[in-house]
Amino acid sequence: MILSIEQLSVRSREKALVHEVSLSIRKGEWFALVGQSGSGKSLLSQAVGQMLPSNLRADGQILFQGLDLLKLPPSRARSIRGRTLSYVFQDYQGSFTPFRTIGQHFDEYQKTHGIAPVAVRKQRAVEALESVGLDGQLLFRYPFQLSGGQLQRTSIAIALLLSPELLIADEVTTALDSVSAHRILQLLAAKQRQTGCAILFITHDWRHVRRYAQRIAVMKEGKMVESGSRDRILDHPQHDYTRQLIQAAPVLPVPESNLPSSLMEVER
């Protein structure tokens, strides 16, 4: 297992927001964590990377590559986050500082993790952009000069830059239209095949779960109510809440595209 979470709880002073959740993710697996807003999905993902707000506390055990992430000092957690454990967030625009170029974002990210010299960092940045179907010249542009789809792909390129073993994708398609969302997930699937990384895919969209996930866990009000293989959960859900979610999900065709399996066409 690349990640094992045991009896994880996240608490504020007043109450528990995540209640003793346990799950495990295998190497190279696409694992979907599903639930409605407020179910605790994002809090769980933030606890993995020691990214919880200061007023919240996590208890339990989070084992990643043999290390209990909850017991690591913040400096060690930061060194792991971004290198072997990486994130792509729903608010991709908020991940970029508006007065820095895309190239400066790549450069700062690599310097933080000890990549040198400058020429190497620039070459790696160009290759990362090209690997997600973008032109290396975007390094000289500012975030506001890129479309939403380009920014999201750029955030994926940065997240995968150092070949992490686990990528946490938290509602990465929520702010995108259906076609762009499909293309982003195609890209993630292609990158997963290329790198062999595992993906913790946090979502409320069952169409994407059906298409990409290998195993599924369902959360409600901070508790895990059900987990299992994709086919078992979708075809034979055991919990009433899971059945309600699946029945309420729109059955719409996922738009197909003529994009290559490894990367996407550059947006003009």
Residue 238 has pLDDT above 90, yes or no: yes
State pLDDT tens for residues 44-99.
999 999 999 999 999 999 999 889 999 999 888 888 988 899 999 877 777 899 99
- Show the 3-state SS of the chain: CCEEEEEEEEECCCCEEEEEEEEEECCCCEEEEECCCCCCHHHHHHHHCCCCCCCCEEEEEEEECCEEHHHCCHHHHHHHECCCEEEECCCCHHHCCCCCCHHHHHHHHHHHCCCCCHHHHHHHHHHHHHHCCCCHHHHHCCHHHCCHHHHHHHHHHHHCCCCCCEEEEECCCCCCCHHHHHHHHHHHHHHHHHHCCEEEEEECCHHHHHHHCCEEEEEECCEEEEEEEHHHHHHCCCCHHHHHHHHHCCCCCCCCCCCCCCCCCCCC
pLDDT of residue 18: 96
pLDDT tens per residue, range 92-138: 777 899 999 999 999 999 998 888 899 999 999 999 999 888 999 99
For the ranges 8-12, 89-93, 247-251, the one whose mean pLDDT is highest: 8-12
pLDDT of residue 251: 64
Angle between helix axes 118-131 and 102-112 (nearest 10 degrees) is 120
Average model confidence (pLDDT) across the chain? 88
Confidence of residue 253 (pLDDT cuts 50, 70, 90): low
- C-alpha–C-alpha distance, residues 50 and 122, integer Å: 29
- Residue 259 pLDDT grade (very low, low, confident, very high; cuts 50, 70, 90): very low
Domains of the chain, with CATH numbers? 1-40+56-71 (no CATH), 74-168 (3.40.50.300), 205-211+225-252 (no CATH)
What percentage of the chain reaches a pLDDT higher than 90?
64
